[in-house]
Amino acid sequence: MKPSKKDRKIMIIHGPNLNMLGKREPEIYGKETLGEINAKLEELAEKLDIDVETFQSNYEGKIIEKIQSASGGSGICKGLIINPAAFTHTSIAIRDALLLLDIPIIEIHLSNIYKRESFRRKSMIADVVTAQISGFGVQGYIIALNAIAKM
C-alpha cells in the first residue's frame, strides 16, 4: 500500500527576516517573495506526492517550538528543511532542538554564506544536519525538497 501524503510530511522552516524577501537586499536574496517561494514548494510537493508545512518566524523560541513539534504528536514529519537565516550563526538553542530529531534535515541558504562576511561563514547547525545547500537562491529550496523526498 502506497503511503498517504499525510505519512510523507516535510516541514519547511524559514527564519528571521525571510518574510521580507523581495524587498530586502534583492541583489543578494533575489526578488521572489516568501509567499512565491512557498507556492513553488507546495506545487512541487503536489508533484512529489508529499505534504509540506511551511512556517516562518522572526522569533527564535517559536522556531524551536516548531522544530520540537516535528518529532511528536500528530502529523510527525518525515523530514525538515530549515533556513535559519541570521540564527545560523548564533543559535545553539536551534542546534539543540535539531538534535531531538531523528529525521533527515537539510539546511538551506539563498546566498552562499561562505562568500559573505566572515561572521556569516560559521553555521552552528552544519554538523548536526544531514546536508547543507547554499548559494543557489530559490532553486536551493527546490533542490532540498527533491532531495529530502527521496531520503
Instruction: Find the mean pLDDT for residues 113-133.
Output: 88
C-alpha dist (Å) from residue 100 to 16, 57, 59, 97, 128: 22, 20, 19, 5, 10
Write down the domain spans for the chain: 5-150
Q: Reply yes or no on whether the pLDDT at 19 is more than 70.
A: yes
- What is the rounded CA–CA span in Å between residue 53 and residue 45? 10
pLDDT confidence tier of residue 64, bands split at 50, 70 and 90: very high
Active-site residue set: 29, 109
Instruction: Find the mean pLDDT for residues 44-64.
Output: 97
This model's pTM is above 0.75: yes
Q: State in words which class domain 5-150 has.
A: alpha beta
pLDDT in tens, 81-96: 999 999 999 999 999 9
